[in-house]
Amino acid sequence: MVEERNKGDIKLKQGIIFNIQRYSIHDGPGIRTTVFLKGCPLKCWWCHNPESQLLEEEIVFIKNRCIGCGTCTKVCNNSAIGINNGIIEFAHEKCIMCGKCIEVCTIGAREVAGKRVTVEYVIKEIKKDLIFYDEAGGGVTISGGEPLLQWEFLYELLVRCKEEGIHTTLDTSGFASWEVIEKLTPYIDLFLYDIKLMDDEEHVKYTGISNRIVLDNLKRLSALGKKINARIPIIPGINNGEKNIRGTGEFLSKYNVHQVNILPYHNMAKDKYGRLFKEYKLDNTIEPEMCEMLEIKNTLNGYGLNVKIGG
């Protein structure tokens, strides 16, 4: 039962999103609208949404569109943009997000990643797709970044979705206090729960955080009987070894996990890192072959898990 709420308060609640993606078919059951919230406490080496990591708007520079006219350098009062030997350079630490460089760039070489919005704005966008949810058994998926980082905004958004009778899915790393997750659980129909590495030291090395909270929260969600689909990104040279795969299978087999999705690494986000002037650490990593994915699937199936490649 949805609690009584003052909708006037909800309208004032703001969050930062960086995309609303329609007709998603891999983020939960049916046809879905996926809302991407900005900000993430993890720094996974393989992150395919690097624009999601900072909890603030940021400038994206699309180098192959730039013609080097220098117009942007003339309007930047903080000297965040300069030209060195005909190449545009950008100093993030000097940028105050005034947006002048975007306004004067007539060819669209500069964009903003991130937009401050109200809950009502997002709900209005979501409701445009209600006909698809009704016909295909879909709904809304909240992804990121890590949505739990903006948990108050997320809470209000989930409550409004349930008031509208919309199926809700949360795509999460599980890295948040249990008190936060427990408050949200009544309004979440399905958890897409990332499991990256079982070894804590390795987890810290490749994601920047410990996995202890992540694993403990999954145990607690399982005890509540929540529907959980575990998601395992398969990153060659990092977590595709037999020890990690078997350790993951043994761990997940103890809990109420509806499905396990193994997601093959891809480098399609590589260009995004350049646009944000960030380092891409997996430059030489090769995507796993299907035969390897099938082997991993069979290994996890051996633990009694319902495993699917992709999704």
Helix (H, G, I), strand (E, B) or coil at 241: coil
Helix (H, G, I), strand (E, B) or coil at 181: helix
Mean pLDDT of 63-72: 87
Cα first-last separation, the chain = 30
Mean pLDDT of 271-287: 91
* pLDDT band at 85; cut points 50, 70, 90: confident
E strand spans, the chain: 14-24, 32-37, 58-61, 81-84, 87-90, 110-113, 115-118, 139-143, 167-172, 190-194, 228-234, 259-264, 307-309
Q: Tokens 């903080």 sit at which residue?
A: 78
pLDDT value, residue 5: 47
Q: Compute how many other C-beta atoms are within 10 angstroms of the C-beta atom of residue 108.
A: 10
- Measured distance CA(289)–CA(279) in Å, rounded: 25
Mean pLDDT of 111-132: 93
Mean pLDDT of 260-265: 98
Helix (H, G, I), strand (E, B) or coil at 203: helix
Residue 134: both structure tokens together: 């009704």
Of 66-80, 117-131, 276-290, least confident by mean pLDDT is 66-80
pLDDT value, residue 12: 59
pLDDT value, residue 64: 86
pLDDT value, residue 4: 41
Longest dimension (CA), the chain: 63
pLDDT value, residue 160: 96
Of these ranges, 13-22, 79-88, 96-105, 173-182, the one predicted with the greatest mean pLDDT is 173-182
pLDDT value, residue 42: 97
Could you read off the pLDDT of 4-61 as tens digits, one per residue? 445 445 455 799 999 999 998 888 999 999 999 999 999 999 999 999 999 999 888 8
Q: Which residues contact 197 (CB under 8 A, 6 or more apart)?
A: 203, 206, 207, 211, 238, 239, 244
- Measured distance CA(290)–CA(292) in Å, rounded: 5
Q: Above 90 in pLDDT, residue 193?
A: yes
**311 vs 222, more confident:** 222
Q: Above 90 in pLDDT, residue 241?
A: yes
Question: ∠15-21-22 over CA atoms, to 5°?
Answer: 130
CA distances from 53 to 4, 35, 65, 147 (A): 34, 15, 24, 11
Mean pLDDT of 137-166: 96
Q: In percent, how much of the chain has pLDDT > 70? A: 96
pLDDT value, residue 185: 98
Question: Is 279 in contact with 228 (CB distance < 8 Å)?
Answer: no
**233 vs 130, more confident:** 233
| Residue range 7-54+116-309 in CATH 3.20.20.70 | yes
Q: Which residues contact 180 (CB under 8 A, 6 or more apart)?
A: 148, 151
Average pLDDT value for the chain: 92
**243 vs 65, more confident:** 243
**132 vs 177, more confident:** 177
The domain locations on the chain are 7-54+116-309, 58-113
Of 81-90, 150-159, 245-254, 263-272, least confident by mean pLDDT is 81-90
Considering the segment(s) 58-113 as one domain, its CATH architecture is: 2-Layer Sandwich (3.30)
- Measured distance CA(61)–CA(87) in Å, rounded: 12
Q: Which residues contact 137 (CB under 8 A, 6 or more apart)?
A: 29, 30, 167
pLDDT value, residue 1: 33
Could you read off the pLDDT of 223-234 as tens digits, one per residue? 999 999 999 999
